Amino acid sequence: MPHKEYKKIDIDSLHDQIWAVVREYCVNSGIDINDYKMRSTLKHNTIINLMNYIYINLFKPKNTALYGQCKSLLDYNNIDELAAVSNIFIDICSYFNVSQGLYAFEIMTGIDDNTISDWLSHNDELNIKRAGVIKAVRNYNKNALISILKDSGVGAIAVANNDVETGLEWTKNTQQIAQNNTVYYIPSERIDKLRLDKPPET
């Protein structure tokens, strides 16, 4: 939990601050942020590096003695701040056409995995709100991954086999229909159908 003297983050300007850092990273990395094809085909590790760049420039405490064990300038008690950061995280992932989840969110914010697990395991009023922020990131990651899979033929079949909204267990259901339409013969009928008991015609 951050020290009571945490640095105050201006929520109203947070969006502009983060996107300024995103643009700076892209310029330094030779990425044309306005080129859709380039930005939508970046490797996932490049996006992780971008998240780390945001963390170093915006959320990493300069005075670690002040913050102790905490590695983030974010005020964990400020739900509006956490929600704003998670929404911007989702915007960035969507803009670059990637599915990134809690790992990337932790990299960007400096919120460690143990802290997030603690939020999800305690049901007091504050943690329920924190958990809502975390679940929004998880849901984005799931839905973004499904959308990306749908862009390819094989991926679309995988989605159809696993996603309720697009036809749960499509292959299994298709096989079941095929089995229902299959005609089985008892041995004597099978022999007659195949004419195995008759000599070949000359």
% of the chain beyond a pLDDT of 90? 46
Of residues 97 and 108, the one with the higher pLDDT is 108
User: Mind listing the pLDDT tens digit for each residue in 150-196?
Assistant: 555 544 445 455 555 555 554 555 555 445 555 544 555 554 555 55
Classify residue 4: in a domain, yes or no. Answer: no
| Residues 143 and 167 occupy one common structural domain | no
Of residues 148 and 39, the one with the higher pLDDT is 39
Classify residue 5: in a domain, yes or no. Answer: no
Q: Is the dihedral of CA 182, 186, 189, 194 positive or negative?
A: positive
Domain count, the chain: 2
Classify residue 202: in a domain, yes or no. Answer: no
| Residues 75 and 171 occupy one common structural domain | no
Classify residue 187: in a domain, yes or no. Answer: yes
**Which DSSP category does 166 fall into?**
G
The stretch 92-117 carries a mean pLDDT of 91
59/48 Cα distance (integer angstroms): 15
In the chain, the N- to C-terminal Cα span, in Å, equals 92
Are 119 and 131 a contacting pair, CB within 8 Å? Answer: yes
Classify residue 201: in a domain, yes or no. Answer: no
| Residues 27 and 109 occupy one common structural domain | yes
Which residue from 37, 168, 159, 47 is spatially nearest to 105, judged by alpha carbons? 47
Three-class SS state of 41 = coil
The residue range of the domain holding 68 is 11-151
User: Mind listing the pLDDT tens digit for each residue in 66-77?
Assistant: 555 678 999 999
The DSSP element (H or E) to which 126 belongs, if any, is: helix 125-150
42/126 Cα distance (integer angstroms): 37
| Residues 52 and 91 occupy one common structural domain | yes
